[in-house]
Amino acid sequence: MLVVCSSSAKLYDVVIKAAGTQIVQELSGKDLTKNIIDTSAGQLKQAKRLLFIPWTPPTAAAFFTNQDINALRQSIATFVQQAIKYTIQGKFKSIGMYSDFVLILMGNLWIILAFPAIGCGGFGIPPDIIATEMISSAREQLTANPTVQLTITFVVQQSQVYDVFYAKIHPISTTAASRTRPLSPSRLSTQES
C-alpha cells in the first residue's frame, strides 16, 4: 500500500497523474482534507492500493517554538500511526479486499507500506525532524503489533533527505529493531525515487 499525504498538492498531483483517471473517479466527491481515503492503485504498478491521509504541519516551519516542535512531532507520529492502524484494522474487517498487499504467513499478517517523507519539500521542515519522528513512530508500531509483520519503506525524492533517513534507519534495522523483535522479518527501509 502506498501512503499519500493528501494535503501535499505536489505529491497528490504526481500520484494522480501516475495512477490515472480511475483514481480521480474513486476520489470524486470525497473530502481529502479531513478523511482517510483508501482506493485502488489505478495504473500504478508499484502499489496495490493507495491510502490518502491528510497532514499539514501545525505551524509554519520558519516560526517554530519548542511547543510547536512538540506539536509537529506529534502530528508526524499520528500520520504514520493512522496509516498503520487503518491498514491493520481494515484487513481484519475484510481480508479479501487487502489480499494483494497483505500476506498471511505462518498465522501472522504481513503488511507492506510505503510512506513519503512528508514535510521536507514545500513545508520546509528539517529532514532530521521528519525522519526521526516517522521512523520512531513506525518502530513503535512494529513493537505494538507483534503478530503483524510490517515492512515499511520510506520513498524519498531528494538525495539529502534520503541521506538523513538512511542514517537514521541503518542503526535501527541492524541493532534496536532486531533486539525488539529478533525473529521478525519486519524491516524499515528507504528507497530513493
Domain ranges across the chain: 2-192
What is the Cα gyration radius of the chain?
16
The residues that bridge with 151 in the sheet, in sequence order, are 112, 187
The residues that bridge with 111 in the sheet, in sequence order, are 102, 150
CA distance 21 to 36: 19
Looking at residue 184, its amino acid is: S
E strands along 64-143, which residues? 102-105, 108-116
Q: Cβ distance 19 to 2 under 8 Å? A: no
Residue 73 sits at the vertex; the CA angle it makes with 123 and 139, to the nearest 5 degrees, is 115
Backbone phi, psi, residue 106, to 5°: 50, 45
97, 82, 124: which is closest to 40 by C-alpha? 97
List the pLDDT tens digit at each of the 193 positions of the chain: 889 999 888 888 989 999 999 999 999 999 988 889 999 999 988 888 899 999 988 876 555 666 788 889 999 999 999 999 888 877 544 333 333 444 444 455 567 888 999 988 878 889 999 999 999 999 898 888 877 777 888 888 888 999 999 998 886 544 444 333 332 333 445 555 5
Q: Cβ distance 78 to 36 under 8 Å? A: no
- In the block, which residue shows the cell 502499489? 47
Domain 2-192 annotated CATH 3.30.1490.100: no
Hey, is 110 helix, strand or coil? strand
Q: The C-alpha cell of 117 is what?
A: 517523507
Q: Cβ distance 110 to 151 under 8 Å? A: yes
